[in-house]
Amino acid sequence: MKIGVTAGADAEARAAALLDARAAALAARTVGQERTIETAPYLVCACGAERYGLPLTAVAGVTPERPCTALPGAPPALRGITAVSGVIVSVLDLAACLGLDRAETEEGGHVVRLRAQEPPVALAVDRVLGIAQIETTLTRPTTESESLGRGPLSGYAPPGSDRTGGIPEDFSLIDIPALLARFTT
């Protein structure tokens, strides 16, 4: 009987050792395959046929377009001022800031209020399409020597780069400080 007990213990020990070895092999196999992809959220807007992404960290809110009070002597890109959430904001036309013609649409556009701007600023766009999560490797800031005159454009998100799958089109990334530099200095 003693022989049977020893044989049973060896079988259990072998089974446990085999399971431990398989678990270790599976764990080692997935360690090399895991890759964390860092993403950044962008609010994607349309200006005519073009698509632009604004860093979501710079956006305070989105409201339907509303009438603006024009300011005498203002640059063409400044539509005027309006109240957004009880605050008077300067409304810049994003298309005009980028040198594009404004698309005339049947439906009203949107006003994107920017966060932490003094004085408060909002951007008028044709419409907001949604929020895209893109890899941060696409959002790296460009240096002056590699910018090639892109001005407020800081990068490009190719088609299909949205990790959520909600924005299938490509879009250019906007550098908010570079965009506003002409109007705040």
What is the per-residue pLDDT across 14-26, written as a single tens digit (0 to 9) for each? 888 888 888 887 7
The beta-strand segments (E) located in 11-125 are 39-47, 50-55, 59-64, 78-84, 87-93, 110-114, 121-125
- Confidence at residue 63, expressed as pLDDT on a 0 to 100 scale: 92
Output 154 or 92, whichever has higher pLDDT. Answer: 92
Per the CB < 8 A criterion, the answer to whether 89 and 121 are in contact is yes
pTM above 0.95, yes or no: no
What digits encode the pLDDT tens for the residues 47-105? 988 999 999 999 999 999 989 999 999 888 999 999 888 889 999 999 998 888 765 65
Output 118 or 106, whichever has higher pLDDT. Answer: 118
Per the CB < 8 A criterion, the answer to whether 150 and 119 are in contact is no
d(C-alpha 155, C-alpha 171), whole Å: 9
Confidence of residue 27 (pLDDT cuts 50, 70, 90): confident
